[in-house]
Chains A and B, each alone.
Chain A
């Protein structure tokens, strides 16, 4: 069977790719997509730990899976709000380039 550490390495790689996307992309939509990648990396980590770490031989609890469900819920809410904010931004400034959205810069 596949050990826990390989799932954790997959999760780390996915998180780092999402981090790069958040830092390097300019379009707000692409930044939201990269955030989704990072949330998925966290979910893989949680679910892998929940189904591997047990010790007693029988399945102990479902906390990891349930936290992952809540993360998916919050991610859905976040994407809906992000769409609204991006639409508002596009209507006011005619761009989704985050380098040009600097009206809150001091």
Chain B
């Protein structure tokens, strides 16, 4: 049963990802990315990482897809039905496949047999987050604040008025 769910989710993940890098329509690419990200949340559920699945659906499925759709609409990328790929795309495909050819055998050679996904206690994540990882947690909030201020300053027009 776990195998069936895993293969289904893997097919959805890879299919959505291929949709992102292959389709000509930018809005279709964003929707394919949504499929891929939700399937990744399912993979987290197979791995007993319920909190991460929740965070994935909320942040990626909610916030990031919306922000990307805003970027598409504000830049009118969908108005240009032109070639969206570089001239060097065969080289890019070759380099990517070569990288997969290095990555996949290294995973297979170093694989650990007979391991099982363990069920993690939900409270343990919170305990670990606020004890061992307390300082990175605070720094993460600072990173978000700085990124927000930076985004506002970069996107603001020079005369101080928003032109959208």
Contacts and interface: CB of A to CB of B under 8 A. Distances in A.
Whether A associates with B in a native complex is yes
Contacts of B115: 3-4, 52-54
Interface residues of B, number: 87
B144 to A, nearest CB: 5
Q: How large is the interface on A (under 10, 10 to 19, 20 to 34, 35 or more residues)?
A: 35 or more
A43 B37 CA distance: 11
Contacts of B84: 25-27, 30
Contact of B48 (A15, A30, A51, A91): A51
A23 B88 contact: yes
Contacts of A54: 115, 118
Given A66-B125, A76-B63, A32 B88 contact: no
Nearest to B69: A29
A52 to B, nearest CB: 4
A19 B118 CA distance: 31
Contacts, number: 251
Tell me whether chain A's interface is mostly helix, strand or loop, or mixed.
helix
Contacts of A3: 111-115
B148 interface: yes
B33 A23 contact: no
A67 B37 CA distance: 18
Interface in A66-106: 66, 68-70, 72-88, 90-91, 96, 99
Which 3 residue pairs are nearest across A and B when measured between Cβ atoms? A77-B147, A23-B92, A5-B111
Interface of A: 1-10, 12-21, 23-27, 29-30, 32-34, 36-37, 40, 43-44, 47-48, 50-54, 58-59, 61-63, 65-66, 68-70, 72-88, 90-91, 96, 99
Interface of B: 2-3, 6, 10, 13-14, 17-18, 20-21, 26, 29-30, 33, 36-37, 40, 43-44, 46-49, 51-52, 55-56, 59-60, 63-64, 67-68, 70-72, 74-75, 77, 83-86, 88-89, 91-93, 95-97, 99-100, 103-104, 107-108, 111-121, 124-125, 128-129, 132-133, 136, 140, 143-144, 147-148, 150-152, 154-155, 157, 163
